[in-house]
Amino acid sequence: MTRMKSKWLVLFIVFGLILTACGGSSDDAAEEVVVEEEPAETLDAPATTAAAAEPEEPAAKVCLVLDIGGLGDQGFNDMAYDGYNKALADFNVEGTFLEPDEGGENRGELLDLCAADGNDLVIGNGFLFAGAITEAAANHPDVNFAITDETFVQGENIRSMVFAEEQGSYLVGVAAALKTTSNVVGFVGGVDIPLIHAFEAGFIQGVRSVNPDITIISKYASVPPDFSGFNDPVKGKEIALAMYEEGADIVYHAAGGTGIGVCQATAEASAGGEKVWCIGVDTDQITTIGSAFPETQEYFLSSMLKQVDVAVYNAIRDVVNGDFGSGSDGGPAVIRENLASGGIDISYTGGYIDDIKDSIEAARADIISGAVTVSRERP
């Protein structure tokens, strides 16, 4: 019985110590709390506090909310982040960037938060923001919003930035068809959704335009509502290895972070025999994935460039210059990037497709002139 009691005594002494420790620290902080309360309360106008700290007042405040996958996908999100950082440096803009929770359910909340926090521009990176951005834009009519990859948004204060992914994919399809020796090529999509179908469709049309007999294997890493396929390098590697096993010697991916694994598979698949290739997407991935994993560098045939960074940069620039809502219809512009505008392109870095450059450039000219139209629907 005494043993029992002494145990509790010790326990209470320990807690007493902890509690007094707490009390001690809060004493020091009591004054601090009073000071800190003020900036925390002025959630609606923190620009004033920021301005007080900096000698020069920022030209604008922008907020970038990235999509699932977040930073480090060596593609879509990283590019948006690059464009945002470049604009921050060039225009003396104050910026915040946020990543949603793993499932992305709180993206609406983050947009709302950014808008309420005195930002002049809130950017949602990716079509998954469509619903959330429409709602946030309606609740904050004074704030500008921008969204990538999505035109079906309604609101006077939203700019859509969309890309003709099918055109660039067509060009890399042409390159793949001219370079394949096994006459089997592969396509890895991140998630089985219409946006990614456009990549696949362009690629198939490009390959077929050169040689209709080439076999194209397509595979998606996940099916909605599971969007993990944009951020699953292990699965990407698995799928690509299987494709190389089946005889494919070139695999094009449109799979975000999953694509890292796709391109990592090349070195392994090439080890035992014929050299195989991968084609990157969004950014010039021979320089991004290639520098993160140098062993993959020599296997990048090309990359389909989708210049999200330029679109994000331009959106911030236009807000700073006051040109944001300058669409032809008076409302916010829908920015359409394609081969003609230069927002969609093919990369020649590495020099592996220099020998077929003429054919690729001919295809580009045909698309720009309208002689060839590339469909976003899979054949």
Partner 1 sequence: MNLRYRLISLSAPILALSLSVLLTSLILTAIGKDPIETFVLMYDYGTTGKSLVSVFNRFIPLYISAIAVAVGFKMGLFNIGVEGQYLLSALLAAAIGASFSVSRPLHILLIMLIATAISSVWGAIAGYLKVSRGIHEVISTIMLNYIGTGIIAYLLGQVFNDEDAANLIPQTTPLPETGQIPSLNNLLNIENLPSLHGFLPIAIFLGLLYYFLIWKTTLGYNLRITGQNPTAAKFSGVDPKRLTMLAMVISGGFAGLVGMGPLLSYHHQYSIDFPAGIGFAGIGVALLGRNHPVGMAFGAILFAFLERSSQILDLRDVPKEIETMMSAFILLIVVVFYEVIRRYIVTQQIKEASRQVDD
CA distance 374 to 277: 24
Within the chain, where are the H helices? 2-41, 47-53, 76-91, 107-116, 130-139, 165-179, 194-210, 233-245, 258-271, 285-292, 308-321, 357-369
How are strands ordered across the β-sheet holding 121-124? 93-98, 60-65, 121-124, 144-148, 158-163, 334-337
Q: Which is nearer to partner 1, 151 or 321 (CB)?
A: 151
Phi, psi of 30 (to 5 degrees): -55, -45
Query: Considering only CA atoms, which of 298, 307, 294, 311 is closest in space to residue 349?
Result: 298
Q: How far apart are CA 20 and CA 310, in angstroms?
A: 56
* 305 lies in the binding site for partner 1 (CB under 8 A): no
Query: What's the min distance (Å) between Cβ of 109 and partner 1?
Result: 6
DSSP bridge partners of 271: none
* In the complex, least distance from residue 286 CB atom to partner 1, rounded to whole angstroms: 29
Strand 300-306 to strand 277-282: parallel, antiparallel, or no bridges (unpaired)?
Answer: parallel
* C-beta of 15 vs 246, nearer to partner 1: 15
Of these, 58, 69, 70, 104, which contacts partner 1 (CB under 8 A)? Answer: 104
Site for partner 1 in 238-277 (CB under 8 A): none
Q: Is residue 50 a contact residue for partner 1 (CB under 8 A)?
A: no
**Complex with partner 1: residue 73 or 99, whichever CB lies closer:** 99
Q: What SS3 state is found at 139?
A: helix
Task: Note whether 8 binds partner 1 by CB under 8 A.
Answer: yes
Nearer to partner 1, 19 or 52 (CB): 19
Q: Which residue from 223, 234, 362, 371 is in contact with partner 1, where contact means CB under 8 A?
A: 223
Instruction: State which H helix or E strand residue 96 sits in.
Output: strand 93-98
**Residues 110, 162, 353, 363: which binds partner 1 (CB under 8 A)?**
110
Q: Report which of 173, 174, 108 is spatially closest to residue 138, judged by C-alpha positions.
A: 108
Least distance (Å) between residue 80 CB and partner 1: 17
The smaller minimum CB distance to partner 1, of residues 127 and 299, is found at 127
> Binding pattern to partner 1, positions 133-162, x when CB under 8 A?
-----------------x-xxx--------
Residue 102 CB neighbours (<10 A): 12
Q: Which is nearer to partner 1, 33 or 371 (CB)?
A: 33
Residue 43 found at the interface with partner 1 (CB under 8 A): yes
Binding site for partner 1 (CB under 8 A): 1, 4, 8, 15, 18-19, 21-22, 25-26, 29, 32-33, 36-37, 40-41, 43, 96, 98-99, 103-110, 113-114, 116-117, 127-128, 130-132, 150, 152-154, 192-195, 223-227
